[in-house]
Structure 1
Amino acid sequence: MSGPAMQGPARQGPPPGPPQGPPPQNPWLGQYPPQRFPPQHQKKSPGAIIGIALGAVTVLVLGIVAIVALNRPSQGANATGYQNPPAPAPTSAFELPPNNGSSSTASSAPTESSEPSSTGPQKILKLADHPILQDPNAGLQNRVCDLPTWQSTQSRAEAFFTAASKCLDAAWGPFLQAYDLPFTPPALHFPTGPSFETACGTIQVGIATAAYYCEDNLYVPFAGLQTDQYGNNPGVYLALFAHEYGHHVQEVAGIMDAAWQKIYAAGQNSPEGLEMSRRKELQAQCFSGMFLGAHVDQGGTITRDMYNKAWNDQETRGDNTSHSHDHGTNAHYAYWWRQGAKANRIADCNTFAAPSSLVS
């Protein structure tokens, strides 16, 4: 369940820049069902009983019609309270092409059923057809996020990521709770040794482990951040951290469990298992882009410069750099991060419905 590594040398020469238009707007329009109150009962005269009986029959018929209508699928309403008009896509010579693949590729989008129902919110073990991925207008609320100034020291990095985790909680918590999912913030850890223990095993700190997520725990070893290479570029570190937090979003939603079921069934190193791993990782990339896109230029400390550097940095990461096959090519690593950043729409992050050509 580990996330991306701070991999390889920085790209040589200036990479293409991101769109310079306004950030994607996504105001939270809260919607609640109207309150209904019980009628006041009054004594009726015998002469009104027949009329009441006829009226009751009429009300019963109309009630049945209303129930049928209310149970029909909504054609645009967002039950979560996150409905809003789509933001215009930024225009730029460097904007990546849209996803032209079919969203109904059943063979590349396996799904699982929900967990058994019980009291309280429950995870939903689904992939492409997970409820959070269905509304084309659903995204994160635009919010102000204030972070301390980045300095490449252990203590200041811890302060930066601790504050960032609070912003991520405030962004993703209400979103997931609106879908009746069991949100709790992840526990944050800052290992200082050459390795650290997790429920997923012993993890060695190095360039392959800048940050790591496992079972509701997010680990950020300062020694793995490669600050000697990336310097004082908080946008780069924030995007990395938001990717790992994206795995927590998957965990809370049930997407993580559903994906690992498929990976284990196919074999972790099989072509099918590696592709499922890439879909999982590339969705976390998209969730990271959503977070920065929702918070840039909102009056806090997530600036356009941070956003731009995070945008450009994504092209330096991925399987081409790490020589692995479980995270996605550098081009797809950048593509999916930008999918989330450009319009802040979670339906754009449905990597499990994407064709294999976009998750290679």
Structure 2
Amino acid sequence: MTFNEGMRIDTSTTSSGGGRGPGRGIAVGGGLGGLLIVVVALFLGVDPSTVVPEQQMDTQGVDAPGFDLSQCQTGADANSIVQCRVVATGNSLDGVWAELMQGYTRPHVRLFTGGTNTGGCGYASSAVGPFYCPGDKTAYFDTDFFDTLVTEFGSSGGPLAEEYVVAHEFGHHIQNLQGVLGRAQQDPTGPTGGGVRTELQADCYAGVWAHYASITKQEGTDVTFLKPLTDKDIADALSAASAVGDDRIQEQATGRVSPESWTHGSSEQRQKWFTTGYRTGDPAKCDTFATNNLG
């Protein structure tokens, strides 16, 4: 999927930074040892400070200068620069959800490298992967993770694989606005637990965005945010959804699958719910809390 060159990137709700400076503060880590194991619990999750034990560190996550957002001007920049693609995807999501949801308000987007402070979820390192913090209504992205999605998790890559990740985190923002995000912490683990239902709903919301992304026009430019999706685009998104299934990650990390500890859903479930949202374009079809058939 590519952006229309004529769309204009709005960086007004985006900031960038990273690194750590001297001082004391909270870091999210948990000592689980290695990106792969950490991601079993945290990839695409909600509020990492509630999932991983906090540990005091001699740093407070003072952000160093980050990516120069002035490089992000047009759809052409989004097609060539990964950080601009994240911001432009956020613009597209804002455009779609403003039409679908009464009272929609934009989340903040934070690009970082290495680690960053959050406004309600403690200090987060890149090891947690992309995440949404409800405390400050911000979606956080270290774009280096997109490479990890391919090299460590076997995703096919491609722009829509990356855009799916952004759309999933915005899905958590939608849940936060709806007042249902807290259900992730109720019965949080297990194949039918609140965690899995929350994550699958966010996958479905990502699919809803994909349904409208190439037909929603940007206000002020009168061009659609994205060009029409191809079969390869959808295959890339499904590949990314499959790559981060609990069963696939557990088997790769430990050699066995333990559904009782699932927090995000299986590869098949994640693909199913993204597809449900994409085919129907109806957020009402994404109510994973109202079904006994998660897939």
Same fold (TM over 0.5): yes
The residue number in structure 2 matching 1:289 is 207
Q: How does 1:207-222 map to 2 (within 5 A)?
A: 209=129, 211-215=130-134, 216-222=137-143
Higher strand share: 2
Provide the rounded CA distance (Å) in 2 between the counterparts of 1:316 and 1:232.
Answer: 10
**What is the Cα deviation at residue 330 of structure 1?**
0.9
Which one has more relative contact order, counting CA pairs under 8 Å at least 6 apart?
A: 1
Which of 250, 263, 286 is matched with 1:349 structurally?
Answer: 286
The residue number in structure 2 matching 1:186 is 107
Provide the rounded CA distance (Å) in 1 between the counterparts of 2:111 and 2:131.
Answer: 10
| 1:358 aligned onto 2:279 | no
Instruction: Return closer, same or farther for 1:349/1:312 CA change in 2, 3 Å cut-off.
Output: same
**What is the Cα deviation at residue 354 of structure 1?**
1.2
Work out the percentage of aligned pairs sharing the same amino acid: 23
Provide the rounded CA distance (Å) in 2 between the counterparts of 1:313 and 1:168.
Answer: 18
Provide the rounded CA distance (Å) in 1 between the counterparts of 2:106 and 2:172.
Answer: 12
- Whether contact under 8 Å (2:196, 2:263) holds in the other structure is yes
Provide the rounded CA distance (Å) in 1 between the counterparts of 2:213 and 2:205.
Answer: 13
Letter in 1 for 2:277: G
The residue number in structure 2 matching 1:338 is 275
| 1:197 aligned onto 2:117 | yes
Instruction: Return closer, same or farther for 1:348/1:146 CA change in 2, 3 Å cut-off.
Output: farther
Provide the rounded CA distance (Å) in 1 between the counterparts of 2:121 and 2:158.
Answer: 30
The structure with more radius of gyration: 1
Instruction: Return closer, same or farther for 1:186/1:226 CA change in 2, 3 Å cut-off.
Output: same
Provide the rounded CA distance (Å) in 2 between the counterparts of 1:278 and 1:232.
Answer: 24
The residue number in structure 2 matching 1:175 is 100
**What is the Cα deviation at residue 213 of structure 1?**
0.4
Deviates more, 1:157-166 or 1:227-236: 227-236
Letter in 2 for 1:353: A
Which of 215, 237, 245 is matched with 1:318 structurally?
Answer: 245
Provide the rounded CA distance (Å) in 1 between the counterparts of 2:278 and 2:139.
Answer: 22
Which of 147, 150, 158 is matched with 1:226 structurally?
Answer: 147
Provide the rounded CA distance (Å) in 1 between the counterparts of 2:215 and 2:101.
Answer: 24
How many equivalent residue pairs?
A: 201
- CA displacement 1:197-232 (0-9 Å, x = unmatched): 2222332313x51x1101210001122222663686
- Whether contact under 8 Å (2:197, 2:289) holds in the other structure is yes
Instruction: Return closer, same or farther for 1:166/1:147 CA change in 2, 3 Å cut-off.
Output: farther
Letter in 2 for 1:172: W
| 1:308 aligned onto 2:235 | yes
**What is the Cα deviation at residue 338 of structure 1?**
0.6
Provide the rounded CA distance (Å) in 2 between the counterparts of 1:148 and 1:352.
Answer: 39
- Whether contact under 8 Å (1:146, 1:301) holds in the other structure is no
Provide the rounded CA distance (Å) in 2 between the counterparts of 1:301 and 1:146.
Answer: 10
The residue number in structure 1 matching 2:37 is none
The residue number in structure 2 matching 1:249 is 174
- Whether contact under 8 Å (2:243, 2:249) holds in the other structure is no
- Where structure 2 has 5 or more consecutive residues not aligned to the other structure, the ranges are 1-40, 46-73, 217-223, 251-260
Letter in 1 for 2:117: E
1:219 is paired with a residue whose SS is: strand
- CA displacement 1:66-90 (0-9 Å, x = unmatched): xxxxxxxxxxxxxxxxxxxxxxxxx
Q: TM-score, normalised by structure 1?
A: 0.50
RMSD: 2.9
- Whether contact under 8 Å (1:250, 1:256) holds in the other structure is yes
Provide the rounded CA distance (Å) in 1 between the counterparts of 2:139 and 2:235.
Answer: 25
